[in-house]
Chain A
Amino acid sequence: MTTTLLDVRAVSVRYGRRLVFHGVTFELPEGRCLGVIGPNGAGKTTLLRAIVGLLHPFTGDVRIRGRVPRDALAQVGVAYFAGEATLPGFARAAAWGTLGNGDAITTDQRRLRALSRGTRQLIGLRTVLGRQPLGLVVLDEPWEGLDPDAARWLTSAIELKRDRGAGIVLASHRFQDLAGLCDAYLFILPGESLWVHAHEIAPIGPVTPALLMEAFDRRRGGTPLPRAVL
């Protein structure tokens, strides 16, 4: 029997007068992976920050093992990373790497801003994924900037955490990374959000990037949105 780890009910978030999204509802059991997909500005990052308690929903409720995020963080163990741009560039890479579980993940003494984008991304990911215990992993565009080896390491690390019972929430534009890895998908679209289970996308066999993209396009009205429209 699976236990509900994350319960998001009718969550809406506003920035001032602007409604970012509304009515997002889903449950994530332990040991399952959710992929959050949506166009730029749809509110993927905002949703992830609301899940880990950094941001308060305007309406609705987020619960991790039945508790509000701030009360649950210490008990559950949460790995949250929003991308290399969130790392303080003045911090030393070696020192930053010890903030996960105290163990060094790199001996590089340079400041983070002196490293390549991919290296910063990898250090940020390894730091948060090194936390023990780890009940919930929330990663925002985690594959961005990673080289193929690092990307493969990340995918296997996520699978390992999931198989050990952690709940995983991933926001990404990269269908090829999410397809096959996630058990369910949340499409955040302007004005609505849709929860789709993997077997609804691919009744037989794994979800492929093409099937996932087709499902996403179908849910948002059948026609792909034009690219690079501002």
Chain B
Amino acid sequence: MSALRETVRFFGVVRPVPRLTRIAFGGITLASSLALALSDASGPRLLLPVLVLQTFAVSTGFVTYARRGHFDVLLTGGVSREQVAIVYWLLVALPGISCWGALAFLEMAVRGHTSLLTAGTLTAMAGVSTIPWATTVPLTRFAGAIGWLLLLVMVAGLAPVDTVTTHLWRRTAGEPSWFTVVAFLLFPTRLVGEPATGNWPAIITVLTVVLTGMGSSVWWISRTSLALETGQ
């Protein structure tokens, strides 16, 4: 049996995304599909609940479960920890990515075009699928998503709302400021439906954070000591 197959089979038994979260993704996709088919609601607007749920779905907390011994069978089975970490991330991100794919396909089928496959949407999906996961790797479930929400509330409380909206919603195409880039990092969902043109600084910044977060998390998982933290 190949190591990859063994890893996927293991996480098919020890499912990293809870059943309720999977049901919620199904419900959101169904509701959004109906809205797409029966109203003139835009694809990006309908994708937002999926992105918010995705931040929670990927905030799984790998090391907490590893230190409870849940992954001992896999980690002592000869599979590299790097491979385990990457497969684990792919599987926790899969439900949200599947919903996104389904909505894009449906928008294309119903309206003849889709705004859900733009560079901005891809970047936003990469951001919400990776950054909360990477943040939560050493923490408990949902910590990354809750932390992100708290940060958003704090930023909204500290920065004048019209400043945020000026830079995010009415920014000048092709002349993004540093604030726009930081704001897009905090609010990657605002990239949904946006083309690459005029958004390169924001896209590159978000993707840099995505790759850095992913790389450092995989590196950390591969090297951290997994002392047992459960009672016997």
Is B13 a contact partner of A98 (Cβ separation < 8 A)? yes
Q: Please measure, in the bound complex, the distance between the C-alpha atom of A100 and the C-alpha atom of B72, giving whole angstroms.
A: 12
Q: Please measure, in the bound complex, the distance between the C-alpha atom of A144 and the C-alpha atom of B230, giving whole angstroms.
A: 15
Q: Please measure, in the bound complex, the distance between the C-alpha atom of A80 and the C-alpha atom of B69, giving whole angstroms.
A: 11
Q: Please measure, in the bound complex, the distance between the C-alpha atom of A144 and the C-alpha atom of B232, giving whole angstroms.
A: 9
Most buried by B among A77, A78, A88, A141: A88
A55 interface hit (Cβ, 8 Å)? yes
Is A128 a contact partner of B232 (Cβ separation < 8 A)? no
Residues of A within 8 A of B223 (CB): 56
A99 interface hit (Cβ, 8 Å)? yes
Interface size on B, residues (CB 8 A): 30
Against B, the Cβ 8 Å flags (1 = close, 0 = not) of A108-149 are: 000000000000000000011001000000001100100000
Q: From B13, which residue of chain A is reached at the shortest CB distance? A: A95
Against A, the Cβ 8 Å flags (1 = close, 0 = not) of B186-203 are: 000000000000000000
A102 interface hit (Cβ, 8 Å)? yes
Q: From A127, which residue of chain B is reached at the shortest CB distance? A: B73
Nearest first, the 6 closest Cβ-Cβ pairs linking A and B are A86-B69, A74-B78, A73-B78, A88-B70, A95-B13, A80-B76
Q: Please measure, in the bound complex, the distance between the C-alpha atom of A80 and the C-alpha atom of B223, giving whole angstroms.
A: 19
Given contacts A46-B227, A102-B1, contact A86 B68 (CB under 8 A): yes
Residues of A within 8 A of B79 (CB): 74
Complex interface residues of chain B between 1 and 57 (CB less than 8 A to chain A): 1, 3, 9-10, 12-15
Min distance, Cβ A190 to any Cβ of chain B, angstroms = 19
Using a CB–CB distance below 8 Å, which chain B residues touch chain A? 1, 3, 9-10, 12-15, 65, 68-70, 72-81, 223, 225-228, 230-232
Min distance, Cβ A9 to any Cβ of chain B, angstroms = 18
Indicate which residue in A15, A54, A56, A96 contacts B72 across the interface (CB closer than 8 Å): A54
Is A85 a contact partner of B73 (Cβ separation < 8 A)? no
Most buried by B among A82, A98, A140: A82
Is B77 a contact partner of A73 (Cβ separation < 8 A)? yes
Is B14 a contact partner of A54 (Cβ separation < 8 A)? no
Is A99 a contact partner of B13 (Cβ separation < 8 A)? yes
Q: Please measure, in the bound complex, the distance between the C-alpha atom of A200 and the C-alpha atom of B79, giving whole angstroms.
A: 40
Residues of A within 8 A of B231 (CB): 85
Given contacts A91-B13, A99-B9, contact A55 B227 (CB under 8 A): yes
Min distance, Cβ A65 to any Cβ of chain B, angstroms = 13
Is A88 a contact partner of B14 (Cβ separation < 8 A)? yes
Enumerate 6 A-B pairs (CB-CB under 8 Å) in ascending A order.
A49-B226, A74-B3, A86-B68, A86-B70, A88-B68, A88-B70
Indicate which residue in B3, B15, B72 contacts A80 across the interface (CB closer than 8 Å): B72
Given contacts A54-B225, A99-B9, A102-B1, contact A87 B232 (CB under 8 A): no
Min distance, Cβ B116 to any Cβ of chain A, angstroms = 33
Given contacts A80-B72, A95-B13, A102-B1, contact A86 B230 (CB under 8 A): yes
A4 interface hit (Cβ, 8 Å)? no
Q: Please measure, in the bound complex, the distance between the C-alpha atom of A104 and the C-alpha atom of B78, giving whole angstroms.
A: 21
Residues of B within 8 A of A131 (CB): 77
Residues of A within 8 A of B3 (CB): 74
Residues of A within 8 A of B227 (CB): 15, 46, 49, 55
Min distance, Cβ B78 to any Cβ of chain A, angstroms = 3
Given contacts A49-B226, A54-B226, A91-B14, contact A83 B232 (CB under 8 A): yes
Is A82 a contact partner of B72 (Cβ separation < 8 A)? yes
Q: From A136, which residue of chain B is reached at the shortest CB distance? A: B76
